[in-house]
Amino acid sequence: MMNIVVAIKVVPDDQDIQISAAGELDMSKAHQTISAYDLNAIEAAAQLAQAVGDSKVIALAVGGSAIDESKLKKNILARGAEELVMIADDACADLDAHATATVLAAELAKIGDVDLVVCGDGSADNYAQQVDVQLACKMGVASVNGVVEMSAAGSTLTAKRKLEDVIETVEAQLPCVVAVTPDIALPRIPGMRDILAAGKKPMNVGAADAAAETCLETIEIKAPEATERKQEVSNASDDGAIDAFVAALKAAL
Amino acid sequence: MKAFVIAEHAEAASALAAGARTLADEVAVAVVGSEQVPANIADAAYHVAVPEGAAADDAAATLEALLDDVQVVIAEPVRHVKSIVGKLAAAKGASVITDCLSIEDGVATSMYFGGVGQIRRKAKSGIAFYTAGAGSFGDAQPSGSNAGAEELSWVAPAAALKLVSSEPIQKSGVDLNKSDVVVAAGRGFSEEADLDLARALCDKIGAGLGCSRPLAEGAGWMPSETYIGVSGLMLSPKVYIAAGISGQMQHMVGANRSGTVFAINKDQNAPIFKQCDYGLVGDLKDVLPKITEAL
C-alpha cells in the first residue's frame, strides 16, 4: 500500500503562444494545460499504484489563480489520480524551483503519510529539472532523476535511470522523490467515462499558506531573433537544380 | 569574485573553467567520478571519487563546504551534476538557472517553452548557480596553474542513494556535437531501409547522421541520443542538411544556429524552406542518390 503524490505543473499551451512584431510572447490567448512530460509522470504514478495494489495517487499542482479551471482539473483527474490538491494563488505564479519546492513541501506535510512523490522530466516553460531535487532536500529525503522504470517493495524504491553515458539501477529508502523521463509510460487518452468520473473526484483548491519568495529575477522574455537565411529553393526536377544545390553544398563544406 | 565549476567530464571541466574565468577572477574546479581535472585550467582543483555502492548525485554533501567564499557556481548540464547542483542550491536557499545559452554580467539567457522564447534571468542575491554547455562561452580558453587535484574525502548524506549497478550505454559512435557536417533525417523517410540513402550521403561528405524526434522516440529507427531539438541535441555545425524534415519549431531550435542550412523535402510548403539557405523540392528516394553521386 502506497500514497503516491504526482506533482504537476500547469502551463500555457505553447501551441497558442503568439509572437508580437516586437518579439514579445503573448500568452493571453493560451489555454492552461498540463505540462507535456507531467502526463507521463501521472501515468507512471498510476501504473506503480496499480502494481503495488491498494494504493492511492494524489495530483498536486501549484500555480497562479489562472490554473483553477474546470476542464483542466477534470483532465488531470481523468488520467489515473484519485484526488487533486491545487494551490491556485497569484502569489504562486511563475515560481522558481526553490520556491515551488517550498510550497509543495508545505502541502505534502498537510497531506501526510506520503510514500513517494513523482515529478516529470522537466516543465514545458523553463525545463529546469530542479523541482524534484529541491523538494527532496526540503523533505530531507533522497531524489532520483532520469527514471525509466521503477518498482517498490517494503520500504525500498528500486529505480532504473537513464543517464548520458550509463544506465544505473539505484535503491532509495521511501519516502523519496523521483523525476521520470517520458519513456517510462505512455500517457493514457482519457475516455468520456474517465472525464465524467473525474468530475466527481475530490478537488481541493486553495491558496498558499505563505508566499514563497523566488530567488531569481526575470529581466526579459523575448522571441529569439531569427537567423537570416537565403531561402534559395528550387524544384529538384528543374534543369540544373541539383547541380546548383550540390555546388552550394561543396562551397559550404 | 570566485567561481566554482562542477563537472563529471574532464572536457566539460575545461570548457566551463574557461567560461568561469570570463565571470570571475578566481576559479576553482571539481570533477566528480572517474575522470580527472585537467592541469592548468584553474587556480584550485578538487576531485571527488564516488565510493562503491554510492551515487554521484550524493557528492553534493562533499562539495558543500567548499562554497563558503564562492559567488558563482557553473555546472555541467548532465543528470548527475544537475542533481548535485540542485542539492547545493537548496542548501544555499537558491535556484539553479539551467542550460544557459550564455551568461554575461550574471545575467543568463536560456530557452523558454523549448525555444519559442528566450528568457534572461539573474540571481537576486547570494550565490548564482548555473548549468551551461561547453559552447556557452564562445572560444574562451582556460587558464590557471593547477597541477593535480586535491582528493576530497567522501561525505555521505543522511538520505543516500544505493547504487546497485551501472551499465554503459552502447552509443551509435558518432558524437554529433563534434560533427562539422550533420545530416538530419525526418518523417519524410517512409521506410527504415531508406535511411541508407542518408547514410550514403554522410559517408561521402564525412557527416554525422541525426534525426528529428519521431524517428528516434516514435519509430525507433535511430538511437535516442541522435535526435535534434527540444529535449534532445542542440547543434551548431558548419553545414546542416535537413532531409525529409518539415521544419517544426521543436526540431529547428536544435539546428537554427548552424552555419549553412540545406533542405530537401517533397512538400514545397514545408516550413523548412523558410529556414534554409538552399532548398530542393523533391522525393528523397530520387534526390538523395543524385546528390551523393554528384558530390
Ranges assigned E (strand) in chain B: 2-7, 26-32, 44-48, 72-75, 96-100, 102-104, 107-112, 117-123, 128-132, 150-152, 162-168, 181-185, 208-211, 239-243, 260-265, 278-281
pLDDT in the model for residue B84: 98
Q: Do B83 and A245 touch (CB under 8 A)?
A: no
**Distance from C-alpha of B37 to C-alpha of B188, rounded to nearest angstrom:** 44
Residues B246 and B213 in one domain: yes
Q: Is residue B13 part of a domain?
A: yes
Whether B19 and B73 share a structural domain? yes
Question: Tell me, what CATH number does B58's domain have?
Answer: 3.40.50.620
Q: Is the pLDDT of residue B152 over 90?
A: yes
Q: Which residue of A has its CA nearest to B94?
A: A215
Mean pLDDT of B82-97: 98
Q: What percent of chain A has pLDDT over 70?
A: 100
Whether B11 and B61 map to the same domain: the answer is yes
pLDDT at B255: 92
User: What are the distances in angstroms from CA B232 to CA A164, B224, B226, B264?
Assistant: 11, 8, 8, 22
Q: What was the pLDDT predicted at A246?
A: 96
Lowest pLDDT segment from A130-134, B129-133, B134-138:
B134-138
Q: What pLDDT, on the 0 to 100 scale, is given for residue B175?
A: 85
* Per-residue pLDDT at B135 exceeds 90: no
**Residue B279 confidence (pLDDT):** 97
B164 within some domain: no
Which grid coordinates belong to B175? 558524437
Contacting residues for A18 by C-beta, under 8 A, at least 6 apart: A25, A26, A29
Q: Which residues are within 8 A (CB) of B85 and not within 5 positions of it... i.e. 6 or more apart?
A: B6, B60, B73, B75, B96, B129, B131
Per the CB < 8 A criterion, the answer to whether A161 and A147 are in contact is yes
Q: What is the mean pLDDT of residues A4-28?
A: 91
Please report the ipTM that was assigned to this predicted complex: 0.92
Segment A220-234, tens digit of pLDDT: 999 988 789 999 999
Q: Are residues B98 and B12 in the same domain?
A: yes
Which residues fall within 8 angstroms of residue B216, CB to CB, at 6 or more apart?
A: B222, B223, B224, B226, B227, B232
The Cα of A38 is separated from the nearest Cα of chain B by a number of Å equal to 14
Peptide bond into A12 cis (omega under 30): no
Last residue of some domain: B116, B137, B152?
Answer: B152
Phi, psi of B179 (to 5 degrees): -80, 130
Domains and CATH numbers, chain A: 3-228 (3.40.50.620)
- Which pLDDT score, from 0 to 100, does residue A112 have? 95
Q: How confident is the model at residue A169 (pLDDT cuts 50, 70, 90)?
A: very high
- Looking at the fold, whether B146 and B180 belong to one and the same domain comes out as no
pLDDT at B206 over 80: yes
DSSP bridge partners of A5: A58, A117
Is residue B170, in this structure, part of any structural domain at all?
Answer: no
Give the number of beta-carbon pairs within 8 Å between A and B: 253
CATH number at residue B264: 3.40.50.1220
Are residues B108 and B163 in contact, defined by beta-carbon separation less than 8 angstroms? Answer: no
Specify whether B48 is located in the same domain as B114: yes
pLDDT at A19 over 70: yes
**pLDDT (0 to 100) of residue A146:** 97
Q: Look at B291 and A233 and tell me if their CB atoms are within 8 Å.
A: no
CB contact under 8 A, B124 and A217: yes
The answer to whether B240 touches B258, Cβ cutoff 8 Å, is: yes
**Domain check: are B127 and B228 in the same one?**
no
What is the residue-averaged pLDDT of chain B? 94
Q: What is the mean pLDDT of chain A?
A: 95
Question: Both B81 and B202 in a single domain?
Answer: no
In a domain, B162, yes or no: no
Are A128 and A179 within 8 A, CB to CB?
no
pLDDT in tens, B211-245: 998 999 878 999 988 999 877 888 889 999 999 99
Q: What is the pLDDT of residue A21?
A: 86
Q: Strands B162-168 and A166-173: what pairing?
A: antiparallel
B168 touches chain A (CB under 8 A): yes
Residue B166 covered by a domain: no
Any domain includes B251: yes
Same domain, B143 and B20: yes
Q: What is the pLDDT of residue B256?
A: 87
User: Residue B209 and residue B134: Cα distance in Å, rounded?
Assistant: 21
Query: H helices of chain A, where?
Result: 36-52, 70-77, 97-111, 131-139, 192-198, 241-252
B233 DSSP assignment: B
> pLDDT exceeding 90 applies to what percent of chain B?
84
Residue B160 belongs to a domain: no
Residues of chain A positioned with their CB less than 8 A from the CB of B278: 230, 232-233, 244-245, 248-249
Please determine, for residue B42, whether its predicted confidence score (pLDDT) is greater than 90: yes
Residue A7 has pLDDT above 80, yes or no: yes
Q: Is A220 in Cβ contact with B276 (below 8 Å)?
A: no
B100 and B216 in one domain?
Answer: no
- Relative orientation angle of helices B284-294 and A241-252, to the nearest 10 degrees: 60
Taking only the tens place, the pLDDT of each residue in A38-80 is: 999 999 999 999 999 999 999 999 999 999 999 999 999 999 9
Q: What is the pLDDT of residues A90-146, one digit of tens each?
A: 999 999 999 999 999 999 999 999 999 999 999 999 999 999 999 999 999 999 999
Pair (B125, B200) in one structural domain? no
Rounded to whole angstroms, what are the CA distances from A172 to A18, A218, B32, B159, B245?
A: 43, 35, 21, 8, 42
Do B17 and B112 reside in the same domain of the chain?
yes
Pairwise CA distance, residues B268 & A72, whole Å: 38
Domain of B32? 2-152
Among B81, B112, B257, most A C-beta atoms within 10 A, so best to mutate, is B112
**Residue at B53 is within a domain:** yes
Q: How far is CA A54 from the centre of its chain?
A: 26
Domain count of the fold of chain B:
2
Q: How far apart are CA B153 and CA A14, in angstroms?
A: 46
pLDDT value for B226? 92
On chain A, the residues whose CB falls within 8 A of the CB of B276 are: 229-231, 233
pLDDT band with cut points at 50, 70 and 90 for residue B172: low
A4 and A56 in contact (C-beta within 8 Å)? yes
